[in-house]
Amino acid sequence: MQNRDRLISVRKLASLDLALHGSMRIRVEFAVGMLLTGFLGLWLLYRGLLPGPNHSLETTIWGCVLLGIGLNYLPLLIYSFKSSQPTGANNEVTSGLAQTDALRRIYTLQSAIFILVPFALLILAIVQAARRPQS
């Protein structure tokens, strides 16, 4: 594995999920993950910052954590729609299909870590999009 391949590609992660699990299921998973954790995070932020008996730093921190996790699903959802052209997902993953088991291990572990660390996958997607050559 080359140095540049040590971190997952957010675009390839979305495409791999689409190719392995089907587009409708994955889009629903990404949308529900984003909406549920995002709204719960916003609600906790509101409750934590609101003056009164529910005002607490712990609630505010949990709100930020859940909002960050919800926003991690945003680039995955965007890439799942960008890869939805007839062969988009398959073209993204075709080069690695010979090593599907290795890809699954790498992407499963890293994606779980990146999704659970607030804002990590979102930041990684922004950095990778900025480094990607424009065509």
pLDDT recorded at residue 4:
52
Per the structure, the complete domain to which residue 41 belongs is given by: 3-127
Q: How confident is the model at residue 69 (pLDDT cuts 50, 70, 90)?
A: very high
Distance CA 61, CA 63 (A): 5
Residue 132 within any structural domain of the chain? no
**The pTM of the whole model exceeds 0.75:** yes
Question: Which pairs with CB-CB distance under 8 Å and at least 24 residues apart come from 20-29?
Answer: 20/104, 23/80, 23/84, 23/89, 26/80, 27/77, 27/80, 27/81
pLDDT recorded at residue 92:
52
pLDDT recorded at residue 123:
94
Residue 70 within any structural domain of the chain? yes
- Structural domain tally of the chain? 1
